[in-house]
């Protein structure tokens, strides 16, 4: 019968070698993912005055035709779209990519007294500008009672 010398560190050494191989594979620029999708979320500023509510939505790199604005029966304003990634085949290795791409949706509850059918929308220089007119609150009807 042959004796095999037991080394308790043998499994740990194998595990360390496998971990090092995995780290080298993940950190290699050729195997690293180039783009992260689904992380784009436009920033929004909401401003109000006596007559209107203004939405200023940053959508840089998004084409006007790739954005949809709607208001439903519950007065929820929705802005949906997609920031598309256009791959350039001449690029072999991506050293750094901080921009995000993908579908996006933002929803906002509008107050009751707005004219949802008269919303103005303008797209310029990567900004979607919405103007939502406010409605005048109905004044209570007053009935004069004749005193006898």
Higher pLDDT, 106 or 17: 106
For 26-33, what is the mean pLDDT?
60
Q: How many domains does the chain have?
A: 1
> Is the per-residue pLDDT at 27 higher than 90?
no
Contact 62, 124 (CB under 8 A): no
DSSP-derived pairing of the beta strands 127-133 and 44-48: unpaired
Assess contact for 129 and 123: CB atoms under 8 A. yes
Range of the domain at 101: 8-136
> Residue 44 — very low, low, confident or very high, per pLDDT cuts 50/70/90?
very high
Position 141 in a domain: no
User: Quick check: 37 and 102 in contact, CB under 8 A?
Assistant: yes
Q: In this predicted model, what pLDDT tens digit does every residue of 118-142 receive, in sequence order?
A: 999 999 999 999 999 999 888 888 8
Query: Under a CB-based contact definition with an 8 Å cutoff, are residues 93 and 27 in contact?
Result: no
pTM, two decimal places: 0.64
52 pairs with which residues across the strands?
A: 133
Task: Answer whether residue 91 is part of any domain.
Answer: yes
**Model pLDDT for residues 64-91, shown as the tens digit of each residue:** 999 999 999 999 999 999 988 776 666 6
Q: Quick check: is 99 in a domain?
A: yes
Residue 47 lies in a domain: yes
Asked if 40 and 58 count as a contact pair (C-beta separation under 8 A), the reply is no
Residue 147 inside a domain? The answer is: no
- Token readout for 50 is 């006596």
Q: Is residue 126 part of a domain?
A: yes
- Give which of 3, 147, 59, 61 is closest to 69, Cα–Cα: 59
Among residues 116, 46, 106, 104, the alpha carbon closest in space to that of 74 is found at 116
In a domain, 63, yes or no: yes
- CATH number at 102 reads 2.60.40.790
Residue 145 domain flag: no
């Amino acid at each position: 019968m042959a004796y095999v010398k037991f080394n308790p560190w043998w499994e740990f050494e194998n595990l360390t070698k496998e971990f090092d191989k995995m780290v080298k594979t993940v950190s290699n620029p050729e195997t690293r993912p180039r783009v992260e999708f689904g992380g784009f979320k436009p920033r929004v500023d909401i401003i109000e005055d006596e007559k209107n509510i203004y939405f200023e939505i940053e959508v840089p790199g998004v084409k006007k035709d790739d954005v949809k604005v709607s208001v439903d029966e519950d007065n929820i304003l929705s802005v949906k779209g997609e920031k598309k990634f256009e791959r350039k085949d001449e690029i072999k290795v991506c050293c750094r990519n901080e921009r995000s791409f993908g579908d996006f949706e933002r929803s906002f509850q509008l107050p009751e007294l707005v004219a949802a059918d008269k919303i103005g929308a303008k797209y310029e220089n990567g900004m979607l500008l919405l103007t939502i007119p406010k409605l005048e609150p109905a004044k209570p009807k007053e009935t004069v009672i004749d005193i006898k």
